[in-house]
Amino acid sequence: MTLETDPKRIEALAREREDANWAFRRFLKGCDMSIEELDSIVHELYKNVSGQIDCRLCANCCKVIRPLLKPNDIERLATHLGRSGEQFLAEYLEEDEVGEGHVFKTAPCAFLHENACAVYPQRPEACRSYPHLHKHEFVFRLSQAVSNCSVCPIVYNVYERLKQEMQRRRVGSYDSEFE
């Protein structure tokens, strides 16, 4: 399978496959594979795909996602920039739509310069962890993964390869409609 790396093409392909991706999510939620086994497959796919993609050539996540910042993220960034927490909040952040915390006011991120993060060592935890495929219990983050298929070449390629792997293993009642 060829690796897709163009963010515009990935967005279009993810939109075309949205129904199939949600159907595959439902399949994964209901299949009889253990959480640990699914994690093992996803982690291996992530390792393989991420090793072939240079995020700095894309930076699409920084262009379209506004991550939720934790209080320690805000403090760390404010200190790094020589501002008080209140100054940093006023200048760069706004409350998120559901009131769970703060997100950057703008997308692309104000700290994205020539596809590189100007505050990389102090970047928010959500940015450090993105695209979250290395974490355990992938099955509980499937909605996030489906949404990120249209944003991140790594997520898109891992999800497509996961479909192939599940078909290869003949897990449960795999349906070719996921293709």
Domain boundaries, given as residue ranges, for the chain:
7-60+132-178, 66-129
d(CA 50, CA 6): 14
pLDDT at 174 over 70: no
Q: How far is CA 115 from CA 12, 140, 166, in A?
A: 21, 30, 34
Q: What is the pLDDT of residue 116?
A: 96
pLDDT at 171 over 80: no
170 vs 98, residue with greater confidence = 98
In whole numbers, what is the pLDDT of the chain averaged over residues? 94
- Residues 142-156, mean pLDDT to the nearest whole number: 97
> DSSP H helical segments within 51-100, as ranges?
60-64, 71-80, 85-92
**How do 68-69 and 93-95 pair as beta strands?**
unpaired
Radius of gyration of the chain (CA): 18
d(CA 143, CA 5): 21
pLDDT at 172 over 80: no
